[in-house]
């Protein structure tokens, strides 16, 4: 291919299409795998009732019969949470392109560990940046403490230079929970399994494709 042809090719291909191709949008999703998922029998999760970014109360029972993809973090997080959510939600979007019917069964949830600053409005605005279906959840400090404990997530305040500029140190985990509310698998938030593939949503999509039936 000559330089001229290469340039023409890249000008002619709309960027959105090219981007979809580069993240593997043309690959079909893998089939669900047989056997017990990795978190089978683990004591993780449990019922909760929290306040959504929509201002309504949401009980875990409303997600019965569907999968949930649960990530804990906080909207003021300067680095880790936004990067994790970008990976996770790009992975979910990829799975949606590969297998819309199965992906529709996955409800992504973002639960804050910073209920003091993360009002319903704050979690709504934050969640909307990553996926149109990502539901941000907040609650009273007690409600958050309980749900975090149930999901084995710990967090603590790290004071900043002003009372409002504190950080939250927190466990960095994403869970796929099953239609019965039981834990299914950890979803890779980081890139540890595939060095050099920062931001690659394929790992997330592949893990979802393995377990969502
Ligand atoms: Ni964070």
pLDDT at position 21 over 70: no
Rounded to the nearest whole angstrom, what is the distance from the C-alpha of residue 171 to the centroid of ligand 1?
A: 8
Q: How far is the CA of 3 from the centre of ligand 1 (A)?
A: 44
pLDDT confidence of residue 8:
44
How far, in Å, is the centroid of ligand 1 from the Cα of 169?
A: 7
Ligand 1: distance of its center to the CA of 154 in Å?
12
Q: From ligand 1's centre to the CA of 173, what distance in Å?
A: 10
DSSP letters, 93-107, are: HHHHHH-HHHHTTEE
Report the C-alpha gap between 206 and 20 in whole angstroms. Answer: 16
Q: Express each pLDDT in 33-52 by its tens digit.
A: 988 999 999 999 999 999 99
Q: How far is the CA of 83 from the centre of ligand 1 (A)?
A: 9
Report pTM: 0.85
Determine the Cα–Cα distance for residues 114 and 182; give it in Å rounded to an integer. 25
Whether residue 203 contacts residue 91, with contact meaning beta carbons closer than 8 Å, is answered with yes
Task: Sort 187 into a burial class: Cβ within 10 Å, 0-12 / 13-18 / 19+.
Answer: buried
Look up tokens 């709504």; give the residue.
Answer: 124
- Cα-to-centroid distance, 36 and ligand 1 (Å): 31
Contact 195, 204 (CB under 8 A): no
8 A C-beta contact, residue 139 and residue 51: yes
The Cα–Cα gap between 17 and 149 comes to 42
Ligand 1 center to residue 170 CA distance, Å?
A: 6
- Give me the pLDDT at residue 199, please: 58
157 C-alpha to center of ligand 1: Å? 12
User: Ligand 1: distance of its center to the CA of 113 in Å?
Assistant: 9
Å from CA of 8 to ligand 1 middle: 42
Confidence at residue 198, expressed as pLDDT on a 0 to 100 scale: 57
Q: How far is CA 1 from CA 5, 7, 140, in A?
A: 6, 10, 61
User: How far away, in angstroms, is 60 Cα from ligand 1 center?
Assistant: 23
CA of 172 to the centre of ligand 1 (A): 7
- Write the pLDDT tens digit of every residue in 156-196: 999 999 988 999 999 989 999 999 999 999 998 865 445 55
Q: What distance in angstroms lies between residue 47's CA and the mean position of ligand 1's atoms?
A: 24
Most confidently modeled range among 4-18, 129-143, 198-212: 129-143
In tens, the pLDDT along 80-130 reads: 899 899 999 999 999 999 999 999 999 999 999 999 999 999 999 999 999
């Amino acid at each position: 291919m000559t330089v001229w042809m290469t340039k023409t090719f890249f000008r002619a291909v709309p960027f959105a299409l090219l981007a979809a191709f580069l993240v593997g949008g043309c690959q079909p999703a893998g089939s669900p795998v047989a056997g017990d998922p990795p978190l089978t029998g683990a004591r993780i999760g449990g019922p909760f009732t929290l306040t959504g970014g929509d201002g309504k109360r949401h009980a875990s029972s409303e997600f019965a019969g569907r999968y949930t993809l649960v990530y804990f973090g906080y909207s003021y997080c300067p680095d880790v949470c936004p990067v994790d959510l970008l990976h996770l939600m790009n992975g979910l979007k990829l799975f949606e392109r590969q297998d819309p019917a199965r992906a529709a069964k996955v409800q992504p949830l973002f639960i804050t560990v910073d209920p003091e600053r993360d009002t319903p409005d704050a979690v709504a605005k934050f969640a909307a940046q990553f996926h149109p279906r990502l539901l941000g959840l907040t609650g009273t400090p007690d409600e958050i403490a309980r749900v975090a404990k149930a999901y084995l997530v710990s967090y603590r305040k790290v004071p900043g230079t002003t009372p409002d500029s504190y950080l939250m140190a927190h466990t960095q985990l994403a869970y796929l929970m099953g239609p019965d509310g039981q834990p299914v698998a950890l979803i890779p938030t980081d890139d540890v399994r595939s060095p050099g593939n920062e931001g690659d949503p394929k790992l997330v999509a592949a893990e979802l494709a393995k377990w969502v039936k």
